[in-house]
Structure formats: C-alpha cells, structure tokens
Amino acid sequence: MLLYVDSRFTSPYAMSVFVCLREKGLPFDVKTVDLSVKENHDPEFATTSITRRVPTLVHDEFALSESSAISEYIDETFPGARLYPADPRLRARARQVQAWLRSDLMPIRNERPTDVVFYGAKRSALSADARAEADKLFSAAQTLLGSRSDDLFGEWCIADLDLAIMLNRLILHGDPVPSPLVAYANRQWRRPAVQRWVTSPRPPL
C-alpha cells in the first residue's frame, strides 16, 4: 500500500489515516505531496487521486481519498485492531464526531492551524468567535467522555485521535483548556502510532 501525505506532515487528516494503518499493523509506504506548490494538481497525482487531495491511499489498483472514507475502508478490509467501535450505535457516534470535527469549529481551525501543533508556531490571542467555539468543543468533549478520562467509548477508536488533534490546537498553543481534557488529549498523544507521526522529520516552516 502507498499513502500520499502532505510534505510537512501537518495534515490532521493524513495523520488520522497514517495512524489507522499503524494501529492495524499494516505495511505501507509514504509518499509526500508538496501542497505549497500545488503538486496535488500535477497530472501524475491527479490521475491517482480523483479529488486531488491528501491523504490518498493506493491499495493494489484501488485509490481512495478523503480520510474518513479511507479509515472505514481500512477497518472493513483488514483484520487486526478495530478502528471503530463494534456496537453500531457507538460506531455511528464515532463517525458523527469525525464528521463534526471536519466540518465545524472553523474559527479554531483558522486561528490555531496545525503548524501550531507540529511546529510550535505562535498566534495572537483567540478571537471572541474562536473562544465561543472552544467552549462548544469543550462542552461536547466533556459530554462524550462523561466520567471517563481515557477513551470516548470505553476503548480506543480513531475518533479519539481526531478529537485529540482538535484539542491540541489549543493545548499546545497554551490556550486554557479544562484539565480533564488536557489529560485525555495527552493520553491519546502518547500512543506509539501517534508518536510515529508526531516525530516525523519535517522541513523548515
């Protein structure tokens, strides 16, 4: 298998798929695409990736983009550790969490991009809009976790990583985050598969 990722290893969506493959224990190669010079529009890549986006996974003659679609494909195709809960309602909830994190909370994503997470970049204080979105994020995360502090659904799933990435946009910048959520995000960050991405060599920002 071949996984296309961004050349700076800052895409949270590429990270999510990378971790899925590592958690499953699957062998794969990584090829980088420099989005800053629009390599994703080069004919070679455009022929492979219908949407011209990373991540794109190539398995045999099948190429698939969009991270949540790839994660579900990996989980349904290969044996090994589950990436989603076995219970259908919990599995649906995990997919809900992923869809929400990918489509909402834009002020946080704009003001705390992932160069904050992976390069330690510093930005100005959060706007009122971003603070309101952060409060919404904290409320949802605390509701989902309930009395747990380890994983969303009693055992790890890929939605845990996606939520931890969003929280770490704030935590690693030094923004105030409730301590139980800091502990939760830190626990997710320590997973070996996650650390393999976090410690990837990166070009200068």
Strand partners, 62: 59
Q: Could you tell me the pLDDT band of residue 148, with boundaries at 50, 70 and 90?
A: confident
Kindly tell me if the per-residue pLDDT of 50 is higher than 90: yes
Q: Does residue 198 belong to any structural domain of this protein?
A: no
User: What's the domain count of the chain?
Assistant: 2
Specify the pLDDT at position 74: 98
pLDDT 10s digits, 112-142: 999 999 999 999 999 999 999 999 999 999 9
Nearest to 28 by CA among 62, 1, 65: 1
Kindly tell me if the per-residue pLDDT of 149 is higher than 90: no
Residues 107 and 180 in one domain: yes
Residues 121 and 68 in one domain: no
Sheet of 56-59, strands arranged across? 29-33, 2-6, 56-59, 62-65
Residues 93 and 76 in one domain: no
Output the pTM of the full model: 0.96
Specify the pLDDT at position 69: 96
The three-point CA angle 18-88-72 to 5° equals 25
Residues 77 and 94 in one domain: no
CA dist., res. 89 & res. 95, Å (int)? 10
Specify the pLDDT at position 66: 95
The amino acid sitting at 4 is Y
Specify the pLDDT at position 170: 98
Phi, psi of 65 (to 5 degrees): -115, 180
Specify the pLDDT at position 6: 97
Residues 101 and 73 in one domain: no
Q: What's 62's domain CATH number?
A: 3.40.30.10
Which residues form the domain of 168? 88-192
pLDDT 10s digits, 52-84: 999 999 999 999 999 999 999 999 999 999 999
Residues 76 and 51 in one domain: yes
Q: Does residue 205 belong to any structural domain of this protein?
A: no
Output the CA–CA distances (angstroms, integers) from residue 78 to 83, 121, 157, 162, in the order listed.
10, 37, 15, 21
CA dist., res. 190 & res. 187, Å (int)? 5
Residues 94 and 49 in one domain: no
Report the percent of the chain where pLDDT is more than 90: 97
